[in-house]
Each structure stands twice: as structure tokens, then as C-alpha cells.
Amino acid sequence: MGKDKKKEEAVFLRKKITLLRAFSLLIGSMVGSGIFISPKGVLKNSGTVGFSLVVWFACGLLSMFGALCYAELGTRITKSGGHYIYILETLGPLPSFLFLWAEFFAIRPANSAVVSLAFGRYLLEPFFAPCAAPVPAVKLVSLLGYYAVLTLNSWSVSWSARLQTALSVVKLLALVLIIVPGMMLLAQGHTENFQDAFDKQSLVPDKLPLAFYAGMFAYSGWFQTSFVREELVRPERNIPLAVIVSVITVIVGYMLTNVSYYTVLGTQDVLASPAVAVSFVQRACRSLISVVPVLVALSCFGTMNGGILTFSRTLFVASREGQWPPLFSMIHIRRHTPLPAVMLMFPLVTTMVCIGDIYHLMNFFSFSRWLFIGLATLGLIVHRCRHPELQSPFKVPLFIPVSFTIICLFAVAMSFYSDPVNISIGCTMVLSGFPVYYLVIHRQMSNRCRSLLYYVTQKLQLLLEVVQQEIKTY
């Protein structure tokens, strides 16, 4: 009887993510707030319309390279956990812990703050047009939106999953409502904004890494299947197919969206606009002025909501590997939601929304994100050298991981020159994990510290009503 009850209460993650669901996960993760935030950042740091379109295409191609590398890693390493587990299995415990440290104290909260600020901006912008919405009001609405996401994910996993499915449709609809009017105007001969598209005098090479960060932010999400690797049906087949089809789809969609933007808006219009999609609709199709901003805000809401899934998966895997406190991988006994993991984000995101703006936060967390993604693909090369006998069902040409790793690490190094303040803060955050690793992970904790940790965990378990989740895949 006791065993049956335990079996009923256990959380089982079955292999139920099919090819279609994997494709939907990737499309839903990539198409989010980025295409509505990043055009201004890409244009500002690339100089001209033509060079910005080249950056968008190059970022898409680079995303394809990265996605193919992760597809091979997913067929070689059969655990869930994404960047963390790939770095752990290929480069060792120290780099993987530094990634965890940066992920949960810099990358994840800063990324969530960027998306929530975009949510607040687009939701308020129509009410204040043609003027910009007041910054305090934007930050307040941004926090309210993020708190709604946290509450939903603390309350019900099933409801948040249903909402995510619905919002995936909203994201694509928002893109369609921008692409169609733009293409119609382009077909009518509105090409004046593409004159002198490649004016070399406007190009600022030392700012290109920041343009890369903004573009890659819009494409980020191509790695999401790696977080749920253990739940995929036929991963050796479905991971490569899903990433290839989804990335090509997003590249085409993003290029068409940017061409639509530039058909209607000039360079100065884009740079002066606090919300590019709102400015586009005001010029191209005023009948949609109250529709598109709401759809974009809902798209940002969906991006915030989707981040909780991968967040909790990584915490569980890190706890399973002994590199993270077990409390943060526990779930609520009745609602089966990752309550401690969700609560960890509350103070961090609140702080970053209050003190930062979109583009500074983007540069801040992009340094750490692309440093560790570059290390993960470097790990693929290392893994091939260490295990030449391993026959992977999917294998990319060696130049793909080599070129992707070099470009990522080069952009990371160059960004110190482009934005030294924010990048130095991000670097300091990563380096601060070294003493924590050696004091807590590398050295065995004393019995007294272990007992104290156990006591605190037990008390917090009772307070939050959470238990260690049991995950099996079949």
C-alpha cells in the first residue's frame, strides 16, 4: 500500500516529446521578444540597413551551426540539462559549476528582465504614443507581468503548458501582421529606405560584437531540446530534424520581418523608436495599432513563461550531479510545481528590472551566455578526440563546431572593447564562482556544515511544502 502511494505521488517524465512537439518547442522558444527588441540594437551597432540585414542572416547561419553542434551532443550525451550537462561531461566539473553560477545569478535573471521590460514597453506604448512611455511605469508593468508568470508556474504546470501552446500561435500571428503589410508596400515600390544600404562610412567594426549579441538574442532558443533530452521520442532522429527545420523557418521569418521594418521605417526612425513594432504599425497599418502591441506583449509573456520549464530541468540535473542544493530541485507536494526554483528568480529579476535597461542587460548576460555556449561546442571537439570509438548516429563536419566555437569566443573577447563596463561586470560574476566552487564543491564539507545544510533544507521543505522529485523516463 505504501509503495503504491509513493508510486502515485512520484513525478514521471515520460518520453512524450515527438518530432512535432520538439519543432513547436524550438519555434516557440526562438520566436519571442527578440525580433521585437533586437532590430534597434543590431542597427545601432552595425551602422546601416544593409549591414544589419547581413548581421541578421549571419546570426541565423551561426545559430544553425550551433544547433547542429548541439544536435550531435544530444546524440552523444543522453542526459537532459542543456549547456550544463554538455560542459560537465566534456570539460569537467569546474567549468560546469561556473556556468551554473553565472546562469542562475546573471544569465537567467538578466534574460528574464530583458523580456519583461519588453513586455511592459509594448503593453504601455500605445497609450502614450507618439511619446515614449514613462520609465517607472514600464518597470512597474514589467514586474507585474513577471510576477504573474511566477505565480502561474507556482500554481499549475498544466495551465502554464496550455498557455504556452496558445501563446506560440500568438507569436506567429504577430510576425504575420508585420510581414504581410511590409511585403505589400515593398511590392508597390517603397524601396527608398534601402538606398545606400551598405555605406561603409557608417560601419563601426568594434561595435559588431554588440550587434552579434542583439541578433543572437533574437535567435536564442535553438538549444531548448537539449534541456529535455531524456523526454524526447527517438532523439537520434528527431533532434537533428527539429533543429534544421525550425532554424531555417525562423531565419526566413526574421529576414522578412526586418525587410518589412525597413520598408516602412528609416534608419533614424528605428533608432529613435522605443518599440519598433509599434512605430511600424503606426506608419504601415494604423488599423492594427491596438492589436500588434498586445500580441507582442503576449509573445513576451510566453517567452517568460517558457523559460521556467528549462530553468527547473537544469536545476534538477545539477542537483542530481551534486553541484547545486537539492532544495532547488524540489517540487510542491500537491501542485507538482518547482516552487523553490521559481522563488529563487523573484529577488534577482526584480533587482535587474529596477536598475537596468534592455540593451545594457542584454550585453551583460550575453557575454556569459555565449562564453559557455562556445565552451560547450569546444567540448564537442574534445569529446570526439577522447572517444573516437563512439559511433554517433548524427555527426556534423568538424569545421562547423570549430568555426562556431572560434566565432563565439572571438565575439566574447571583442565585447570587452565594445562595452567594457557591462562585460566586466558579467566577467566578474563568472569569476566569483571560483571561490564558491573550491570552498563548497571541490572541498568536502565538514560534518557540521553538512548537518547545518540538512537542517536548513528540512525546515524550508516543511515551510514550502516541497519534496524531492523522482524522475524516471520510459
Own/partner pairs, 324-328, CB within 8 angstroms, 24+ separation:
324/100, 325/453, 325/457, 326/457, 326/468, 327/457, 327/460, 327/461, 327/466
Question: How far apart are the C-alpha atoms of 45 and 126, rounded to whole Å?
Answer: 27
8 Å CB contact between 279 and 60: no
Buried b (16+ CB within 10 A) or exposed e, 267-305: bebbeebbbbbbbbbbebbeebeeebbebbbbbbbbbbb
The pLDDT value given to residue 269: 87
**What H or E segment, with its residue span, contains residue 466?**
strand 466-468
What's the CA gap between 238 and 225, in Å, rounded? 10
The CA distance from 463 to 333, in Å, is 12
| Collapsed DSSP state (helix, strand, coil) of residue 377 | helix
The pTM (predicted TM-score) of the whole model is 0.84
Altogether, the residues listed in the chain come to a count of 474
Q: What is the dihedral of CA 144, 146, 147, 153, to 10 degrees?
A: 150
pLDDT of 340: 83
The predicted pLDDT at position 309 comes to 67
CA angle 360, 366, 367 (to 5 degrees): 100
DSSP string of 50-115, one letter each residue: HHHHHHHHHHHHHHHHHHHHHHHHHHH---S-THHHHHHHHH-HHHHHHHHHHIIIIIHHHHHHHH
Instruction: Return the bridge partners of 468, or none.
Output: 330
Planar angle of CA 243, 248, 250, nearest 5 degrees: 95
Which residue has 561531461 as its cell numbers?
89
Q: Which residue has cell 524531492?
A: 468
Beta strands in 339-410 (DSSP E): none
Cα-based torsion angle of the residue sequence 52, 53, 55, 58 in order, rounded to the nearest 10 degrees: 180
Instruction: Identify the pLDDT of residue 391.
Output: 77
Q: How far apart are CA 195 and CA 204, in angstroms?
A: 19
By C-alpha distance, which of 341, 320, 295 is closest to 118?
A: 295
In tens digits, the chain (474 residues) has pLDDT values of 444 444 444 444 455 567 777 787 788 778 877 888 888 889 888 888 889 999 999 999 999 999 999 989 888 888 877 889 899 999 999 999 999 999 888 888 888 888 899 899 888 887 877 777 888 999 999 999 999 988 887 887 677 777 877 887 888 888 888 999 999 989 888 888 888 778 777 777 778 888 888 898 889 888 888 877 777 778 778 888 888 998 999 999 999 999 999 999 888 888 888 778 888 888 877 767 778 888 888 888 888 887 776 677 777 778 878 888 888 778 778 877 778 877 878 888 999 999 877 778 887 888 888 999 999 999 999 999 988 877 778 889 999 999 999 999 988 888 888 788 888 888 888 999 999 888 887 776 677 777 887 788 888 888 888 877 655 544
Which amino acid does the sequence have at 429? M
- Residue 443: what are its φ and ψ, rounded to 5°? -85, 140
Grid cell in block for residue 102: 553565472
pLDDT of amino acid 52: 92
Q: How many other C-beta atoms lie within 10 A of the C-beta of residue 262? A: 26
Q: Which pLDDT does position 350 carry in this prediction?
A: 92
**Distance, CA of 5 to chain centre:** 38
Tell how strand 330-332 and strand 466-468 pair up: antiparallel
